[in-house]
């Protein structure tokens, strides 16, 4: 499995973050995503103790205040955050197009692409300068919007921008089902667009970030085409084995959730061998 855990620099979660970081340190196959969601604090330097010596295992998530509608206003802060990301050996960072649903609704249809285009070009320029890659995460929009966006990015040669597929966001904020998103991922993969995955579960109404341990419809629902969500995860591993898949769940469930799905995948492999 090419899978890992997500933590954020929330000082309230210092103790559980330490447990997760120690688990990451003691399990070489586990990946880590660090979200710089809060103002710089002691946790940022704390992360370095666990990440400064590792390679190809860490990525970051930009502060949610920095998005493609306002990047030009926060360029200096954004670049400082990228330098911090690189200090902890992050290979790339996740960013959002808009910080809120209200912002998103202000730009219906493809007007959002026009509104953010200059900042997307700026993002690509920063990536080239820093030898870095940024991944746009799907949020609030449907698969058709992101299809148009990434076709345009590819056409214009903005090659330092990848895509983070958040399955929970797709379920809550798009009208399409998982099958439609899978076709989109296949198109991006064929275009050599870098991919990253956030995996968490919800009931389709709110972005609940549920773990496998909390979700009551694990055997599937309308969004998954009634495919067991363990099989959904397995299909992503099989089709995109080199793509990092981060479980974005509540910290107290993070380790148990990863061990649960790891055991489920191993059980499936044993069954196949028999």
Domain ranges of the chain: 3-273
pLDDT at 266: 82
Please give the sequence-ordered ranges of beta strands (E in DSSP) within 138-190, or none if there are none.
161-166
Please give the sequence-ordered ranges of beta strands (E in DSSP) within the chain, or none if there are none.
3-8, 31-35, 58-61, 90-95, 134-137, 161-166, 195-199, 244-247
Positive or negative: CA dihedral 193, 144, 211, 249: positive
How much is the mean pLDDT over the chain? 93
pLDDT at 114: 96
pLDDT at 268: 66
Question: Closest by alpha carbon to 188, among 146, 160, 156, 137?
Answer: 146
Checking if the pLDDT of 41 tops 80, the result is: no
**Predicted confidence (pLDDT) per residue in 183-206, tens digit:** 999 999 999 999 999 999 999 999
Class assignment of domain 3-273?
A: alpha beta
Q: How many C-beta atoms surround the C-beta of residue 257 within 10 A? A: 24
**Predicted confidence (pLDDT) per residue in 46-65, tens digit:** 898 899 889 999 999 999 99
**Predicted confidence (pLDDT) per residue in 121-171, tens digit:** 999 999 999 999 999 999 999 999 999 999 999 999 999 999 999 999 999
Cα 79 to Cα 83: distance, rounded to the nearest angstrom: 6
**Predicted confidence (pLDDT) per residue in 223-236, tens digit:** 999 999 999 999 99
């Amino acid at each position: 499995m090419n899978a890992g855990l997500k933590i954020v620099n929330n000082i309230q979660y210092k103790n559980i973050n330490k447990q997760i970081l120690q688990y990451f340190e003691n399990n070489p196959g586990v990946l880590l995503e660090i979200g710089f969601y809060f103002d710089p604090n002691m946790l940022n330097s704390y992360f370095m103790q666990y990440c400064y010596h590792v390679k190809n295992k860490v990525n970051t998530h930009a502060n949610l205040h920095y998005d493609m509608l306002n990047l030009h206003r926060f360029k200096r802060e954004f670049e400082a955050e990228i330098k911090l990301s690189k200090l902890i050996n992050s290979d790339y960072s996740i960013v959002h197009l808009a910080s809120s649903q209200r912002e998103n609704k202000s730009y219906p249809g493809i007007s959002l692409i026009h509104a953010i285009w200059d900042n997307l070009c700026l993002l690509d320029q920063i990536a080239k300068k820093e030898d870095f890659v940024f991944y746009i995460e799907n949020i609030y929009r449907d698969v058709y919007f992101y299809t148009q966006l990434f076709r345009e990015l590819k056409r214009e040669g903005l090659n330092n921008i990848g895509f983070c597929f958040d399955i929970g966001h797709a379920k809550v904020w798009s009208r399409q089902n998982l099958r439609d998103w899978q076709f989109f991922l296949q198109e991006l993969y064929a275009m050599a667009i870098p991919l990253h995955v956030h995996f968490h579960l919800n009931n389709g109404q709110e972005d609940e970030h549920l773990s496998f341990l909390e979700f009551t419809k694990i055997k599937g629902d309308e969004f998954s085409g009634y495919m067991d969500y363990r099989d959904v995860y397995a299909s992503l591993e099989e089709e995109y084995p080199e793509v990092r898949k981060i479980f974005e769940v509540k910290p107290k469930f993070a380790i148990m959730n990863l061990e649960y799905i790891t055991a489920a995948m191993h059980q499936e492999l044993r069954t196949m061998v028999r």
